[in-house]
Amino acid sequence: MRLGGPVFVEFEDPDGWIRALKAEGYRAGTCPVGHDASAELIRAYRNAADAHDIVIAEVGAWSNPISPDERTRKAAVEHCKQQLELAERIGARCCVNIAGSRGEQWDGPHPDNFSEETFELIVDTVREIIDAVNPQRTFYALETMPWAFPDSADTYVALIKAINRKAFAVHLDPVNMISSPRIYYRNGEMIKDFLPSWDRSFVLAMRKISACPDN
């Protein structure tokens, strides 16, 4: 287990990024560049991470690939593909996004977020993203959310089975699932529910879980 996170300071090069991480006592961090960075810069950050035993935990692909607006949706899907490719190139453990929302707010609640049609749309979208990149070393993952799939261990298992791609893995953010007083007071039970041995497919997926800063 590693402690890590983003660093909210200015740094101009990989050496500055490494110094900022070590100043916080981190051994893991989020990806410091985007997919539009040059091949040379991406390689430099990867080499610096390897040399200093820093895990690049995740590349964010924050967008709404299930937006009801087709232009927004297509742009988001393309962004996810580019960020997943970046994760593969820079050696990140995963590329992470949320599933999205059927509302105007990309990460907001909507009554259609839990419909069967939305579930199928998420499945098709994740498959498209993974199949376009075909990553061999990294994984695409969906952050758990309180008002969109996956919102529980059971819905994550359902997505794993439906998506049926080796490059799809689990990104567990238990805080995002504390959405009621009952779950708040029983949050330990909720977290344990994510770590059972009763479903082999889920256990296999958990073995691929990214070394994210909050794990």
Average pLDDT, the chain: 90
Tally of helices (H runs) and strands (E runs) in the chain? 8, 5
- For the question of whether the overall pTM of this predicted structure is more than 0.85, the answer is yes
pLDDT of residue 118: 98
As a whole number of angstroms, the longest Cα–Cα distance in the chain is 50
- Is the bond preceding 150 in cis, omega lying within 30 degrees of 0? yes
pLDDT, tens digit (0-9, with 9 covering 90-100), for 86-139: 999 999 999 999 999 999 999 999 999 999 999 999 999 999 999 999 999 999
- Edge-to-edge strand ranges of the sheet holding 55-60: 28-30, 55-60, 94-97, 139-143, 168-171
Q: CA 99, 104, 106, 111: dihedral to nearest 10 degrees?
A: -40
Fold of 58-207: TIM Barrel (3.20.20)
Sequence ranges of the domains in the chain: 58-207
pLDDT, tens digit (0-9, with 9 covering 90-100), for 128-170: 999 999 999 999 999 999 999 999 999 999 999 999 999 999 9
Residue found under tokens 């995963």: 94
Among the listed residues 66, 93, 88, the one whose alpha carbon sits nearest the alpha carbon of residue 77? 66
